[in-house]
């Protein structure tokens, strides 16, 4: 049997590793995504002060620290049995919109755009952010840098620091009110971000949707995966990043379950495999059936497409219009096309900017009632939507408000089974009877990065071009071929 291992050039340790196995006929038997790292947060958070948990857990990820901070803040609200004031909720959500703005811009332009703007068939050396700049021009590149920085700055003003914010570690509130000057500054940045989000959608429309080959690629079988979907929704079942109930729909788009954060253990279980440090979650009621798709398998997907599929729309007008357009273009709900994650991400960027504008122009946003008094420490679950999907923090506190037990189900973890299957599907289309097409790398990479997996956050930066190598061995482990980019 042949083994193909795709390693990012870093030898990959720390950031994900893909192994593809061929059967004796030389066709794809299975694909494994391995996450070769564990840092043990669930253990070393034990014994820590409650208020430190939303600060320590941000260090799980330097790309999405705000998500951990906010899931932690909400877990503390629940554990101390206190509801934040309306102003505090708005400030937290505004900070959260800032995070979505920078994260979604980063992913789309540095990772997604090279595939579409430069083109999936372009030489690897051009399929990166520099290639994007060449295609769209330096002026637009500057806009990308500017608006990503705006997102960071908004988070910085409200959270104290853009990476690893601290201000929402108070159960029942936030530590700093928004000054009139800062509000004005944020409004200016947000207005600019709204326009930039519109521009990004138009760019996607012009470059991708007007190209029938790209649309067909999105809809093609190797990039299709029929699974359940999960995402947080408001009371009208519209997408919400910060608050609400978590809704799961089946592969037909029908509501499967809708649950409050405190009920997550009734819905989700995690399976352990010896070949990866990451656990594999599934819907408890259906059970773990292995890495298979369809309604009989408990595998579900989260993140931008997961959220849009699990919801009944967007709560802001421009995003809603684009939401309708996506489902119309791709043949109704739910969309199982993995590459549609990119489009969904831009629709969410639109929503994040529109929602941020609503919040920053809210007459009460500069109110100073930012804290409610916490009750006695007990147990609580906090759920938010991280850019990459549903994020769950579960804290059990003792009477001194020290952490007794901590459980974390992180966004990319939910998608780990789906990513494995998407890779397998993409590989299947390109490996026939032992012949490996040179296009394999591109295809596998595209399947992989549509999810924006966080353990590969390396690929967020610089050239947005995940270095990979595929090694193909024959039955006697002799190296037959190495494809490198």
Partner 1 sequence: MEKLKFAFYWAASCGGCEIAVLDINEKVLDVVAKADIVFWPVAIDIKYKDVEAMPDKYIDVCFFNGAIRTEEQEHMAKLLRKKSKVLVAFGSCACDGCVVGLANLWNKKTVFERAYFETPSTKNPNQVTPKTSVKVKEGELKLPEFFDTVKTLAQTVDVDYFLSGCPPPIPCIIQAVEAIFNNKLPPKGSSLLPNKSICDECPREKKDRKLTEIKRIYEIEDDLKTCFWDQGVVCMGPATRAGCGAQCPNVNIPCTGCDGPGPRVIDQGAAIMSALASIATDPSVIDQIVDPIGTFYKYSLAHSILRRKVIK
Where in 174-203 is the site for partner 1 (CB under 8 A)? Answer: 175-176
Which of 283, 337, 333 lies closest to 308, judged by CA?
333
Tell which positions 58-77 bind partner 1, by CB under 8 A: 59-63, 65
**Binding of residue 134 to partner 1 (CB under 8 A):** no
Tell which positions 297-356 bind partner 1, by CB under 8 A: none
Candidates 83, 161, 188, 285; binder of partner 1 (CB under 8 A) is 161
Which of 355, 385, 454 lies closest to 67, judged by CA?
385
Candidates 171, 251, 306, 429; binder of partner 1 (CB under 8 A) is 171
**Binding of residue 480 to partner 1 (CB under 8 A):** no
User: Judged by CB, which is closer to partner 1: 161, or 481?
Assistant: 161
Candidates 118, 190, 268, 441; binder of partner 1 (CB under 8 A) is 268
User: Binders of partner 1: how many residues, by CB under 8 A?
Assistant: 88
Would you say 326 and 344 are in contact if contact means Cβ atoms under 8 Å apart?
Answer: yes
**Binding of residue 257 to partner 1 (CB under 8 A):** no
Half-sphere exposure of 338 (CA within 13 A, CB side): 32
Q: State the DSSP H helix or E strand holding residue 69, giving kind and residue range, or none if neither.
A: helix 65-79
- What distance in Å separates the CA atoms of residue 380 and residue 259, rounded to the nearest whole number? 15
- What distance in Å separates the CA atoms of residue 17 and residue 3, rounded to the nearest whole number? 13
Candidates 167, 316, 353, 442; binder of partner 1 (CB under 8 A) is 167
- What distance in Å separates the CA atoms of residue 262 and residue 266, rounded to the nearest whole number? 9
User: Judged by CB, which is closer to partner 1: 82, or 337?
Assistant: 82
CA 111 to centroid of chain Cα atoms: 13
**Binding of residue 42 to partner 1 (CB under 8 A):** yes
**Binding of residue 265 to partner 1 (CB under 8 A):** yes
What's the CA angle centered on 368, arms 363 and 373, to 5 degrees?
Answer: 125
User: Judged by CB, which is closer to partner 1: 199, or 277?
Assistant: 277
**Binding of residue 289 to partner 1 (CB under 8 A):** no
Tell which positions 91-130 bind partner 1, by CB under 8 A: none
CA-to-CA dists, residue 271 to 192, 274, 288, 381, 408, angstroms: 44, 10, 7, 21, 14
Which of 62, 56, 54 lies closest to 78, judged by CA?
54
Task: Point out which span in 37-45, 230-238, 358-366, 422-430 binds partner 1 (CB under 8 A).
Answer: 37-45
Interaction pattern, residues 347-386, with partner 1; x per rule: CB under 8 A: ---------------------------x------------
Candidates 84, 112, 159, 251; binder of partner 1 (CB under 8 A) is 159
Tell which positions 3-22 bind partner 1, by CB under 8 A: 3, 8-11, 13-14, 19, 21
In the complex, the smallest distance separating the C-beta of residue 480 from partner 1, rounded to whole angstroms, is 15
Candidates 107, 127, 164, 238; binder of partner 1 (CB under 8 A) is 164
Task: Point out which span in 215-223, 226-234, 403-411, 443-451 binds partner 1 (CB under 8 A).
Answer: 403-411
């Amino acid at each position: 049997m042949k083994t193909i291992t795709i390693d990012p050039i870093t030898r990959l340790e720390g950031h994900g590793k893909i192994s593809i196995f061929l059967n004796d006929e030389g066709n794809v038997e299975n694909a494994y995504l391995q996450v070769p790292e564990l840092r043990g947060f669930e253990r070393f958070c034990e014994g820590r002060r409650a208020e430190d948990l939303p600060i320590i857990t941000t260090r799980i990820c330097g790309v999405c620290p705000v998500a951990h901070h906010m899931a932690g803040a909400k877990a503390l609200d629940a554990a101390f049995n206190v509801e934040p004031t309306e102003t505090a909720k708005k400030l937290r959500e505004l900070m959260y919109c800032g995070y979505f703005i920078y994260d979604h811009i980063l992913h789309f332009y540095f990772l997604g755009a090279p595939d579409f703007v430069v083109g999936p068939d372009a030489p690897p050396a051009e399929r990166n952010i520099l290639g994007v700049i060449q295609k769209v021009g330096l002026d637009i590149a500057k806009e990308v840098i500017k608006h990503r920085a705006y997102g960071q700055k908004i988070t910085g003003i409200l959270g104290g620091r853009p990476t690893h914010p601290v201000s929402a570690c108070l159960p029942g509130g936030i530590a700093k009110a928004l000054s009139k000057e800062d509000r004005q500054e944020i409004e200016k940045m947000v207005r600019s971000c709204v326009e930039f989000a519109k521009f990004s959608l138009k760019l996607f429309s012009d470059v991708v949707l007007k190209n029938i080959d790209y649309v067909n690629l999105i809809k093609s079988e190797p990039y299709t995966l029929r699974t359940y979907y999960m995402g947080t929704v408001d009371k009208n079942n519209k997408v919400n990043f910060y608050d609400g109930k978590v809704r799961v729909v089946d592969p037909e788009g029908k509501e499967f379950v809708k649950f409050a954060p405190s009920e997550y253990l009734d819905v989700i279980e995690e399976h352990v495999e010896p070949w990866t440090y990451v656990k594999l979650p599934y819907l408890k009621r259906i059970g773990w059936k292995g890495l298979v798709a369809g309604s009989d398998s408990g595998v579900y997907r989260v993140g931008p497409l997961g959220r849009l599929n699990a919801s009944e729309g967007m709560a802001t007008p421009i995003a809603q219009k684009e939401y309708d357009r996506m489902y119309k273009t791709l043949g109704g709900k739910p969309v199982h096309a993995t590459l549609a994650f990119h489009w969904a991400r831009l629709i969410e960027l639109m929503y994040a900017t529109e929602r941020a504008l609503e919040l920053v122009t809210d007459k009460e946003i500069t109110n100073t009632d930012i804290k409610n008094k916490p009750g006695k420490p007990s147990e609580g679950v906090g759920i938010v939507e991280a850019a990459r999907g549903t994020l769950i923090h579960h804290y059990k506190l003792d009477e001194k408000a020290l952490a007794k037990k901590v459980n974390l189900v992180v966004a990319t973890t939910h998608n780990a089974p789906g990513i494995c299957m998407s890779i397998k599907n993409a590989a299947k289309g390109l490996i026939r009877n032992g012949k490996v097409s040179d296009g394999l790398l591109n295809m596998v990479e595209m399947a992989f990065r549509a999810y924006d997996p966080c353990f590969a956050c390396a690929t967020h930066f610089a050239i947005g071009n995940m270095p990979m190598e595929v090694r193909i061995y024959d039955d006697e482990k002799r190296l037959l071929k190495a494809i490198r980019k």
